[in-house]
Structure 1
Amino acid sequence: MSWLDEIRWDAQGLIPVIAQDWQSGRVLMFAYANREALALTADKGTAHYWSRSRNRLWHKGEESGHFQKVHEIRLDCDEDVIIYSIEQQGGIACHTGRESCFYRRLEGGSWVVTDAVLKDPDAIYHKH
């Protein structure tokens, strides 16, 4: 039996993936992986995901250049969530140009932006 067979994939063949900074522990992003994405991540050492919006395999950094070097892959006790312990190239994980996708905090009933944009998204993503 393969290590991939030990995972509890959802009905769409996906598993939630948390990308966490390998040094600070900060959660940088959340995405999904299918079997191919997880196998490629383990094989290549860089983060691969399944893009539900684009319905295709996604190598993080393929457009932005902000690749994620994977130091460790962990599976939770229920075998239905993965953590990639990553080193974020360029310090930007979010498509908004921020370090983390979790840049808003609930304060007094409103979402408050807590993290600055490190790079204008238009300078990161080029329309083809």
Structure 2
Amino acid sequence: MKKVKTLVLGSALGLLIMGGTAQASSSYYTYSEKVGAFNGSAYTYWQTVEGTTHNERIDAYSKSVGGDYTIDMRAARNSGANIVTQWARNVGDNKYVTFNRTGILSSPGSQIRLQLSNKLSTPVQVSATGKFKVN
């Protein structure tokens, strides 16, 4: 009985420790950027990661993109391996995008931002607004 109790308590403690280090939750950061014409790019401010995770997830919400245009979006880190995600294409108004990356160690102090890009064929600058966070 004593061994079972020790095993249960040890497992619970292990889960608490791992659960505490597997989180990189943060608040949503809003953005309002002007994305230049003809394949222009814009970048959001850096968001600092608050915890540690091995499976990085960035949730982004595109509230609006000017006119009837769409943009491309990706997330970028300030350091480490594989610093950019794949592009999310044709992101328009009221669109949720999630970037999942496994095996990427994010530690407190790491920084993430979004890169917003216009199409090569978009002849005007567009305003893009929304929010994002790192989980």
TM-score using structure 1 length: 0.29
Which of the pair is proportionally richer in strand?
2
In our comparison, the structure showing a higher alpha carbon Rg is 2
> Relative contact order (alpha carbons < 8 A, sep ≥ 6): 1 or 2 greater?
2
